Amino acid sequence: SQELEQSPQSLIVQEGKNLTINCTSSKTLYGLYWYKQKYGEGLIFLMMLQKGGEEKSHEKITAKLDEKKQQSSLHITASQPSHAGIYLCGAPSQGGSEKLVFGKGTKLTVNP
């Protein structure tokens, strides 16, 4: 079955620093979704990547999809305390499936 591994598991950075979170799939990726979760809350959708080589940005967050490497990266530029939380990647369990499997998440702490 599809498995997603995220790295690092946790990350502590100083405000203003750039950072990257990776998500690697055990199988072919049929799209990749990034979510953010704050403690005690549900997951908030950030971005969706559907094609190899695709790159999307929202404010200071950029995500890329490398289909050949079965990998996606999430990059935050000039991090702020508001970026703190848990970032999770999700992907369809197989092509055309509605079932999304998720990585275990990367916990980000941004120190002011």
Partner 1 sequence: DAGVIQSPRHEVTEMGQEVTLRCKPISGHNSLFWYRQTMMRGLELLIYFNNNVPIDDSGMPEDRFSAKMPNASFSTLKIQPSEPRDSAVYFCATTPRDKSSGANVLTFGAGSRLTVL
Residue ranges binding partner 1 (CB under 8 A): 31, 33, 35, 40-45, 48, 50, 88, 90, 92, 98-105
Q: What is the full DSSP assignment across the chain?
A: ---EEEE-SEEEEETT--EEEEEEESS--S-EEEEEE-TTS-EEEEEEE-STT-EEEETTEEEEEETTTTEEEEEESS--GGG-EEEEEEEESSTT-S-EEE---EEEEEE-
**Nearest CB to partner 1, comparing residues 18 and 50:** 50
**Nearest CB to partner 1, comparing residues 3 and 59:** 3
* Closest CB 60 distance from partner 1, rounded Å: 21
Task: Work out the end-to-end distance of the chain between its first and last CA atoms, rounded to an integer number of angstroms.
Answer: 40
* Closest CB 7 distance from partner 1, rounded Å: 14
* Closest CB 85 distance from partner 1, rounded Å: 14
**Nearest CB to partner 1, comparing residues 20 and 102:** 102
* Closest CB 14 distance from partner 1, rounded Å: 26
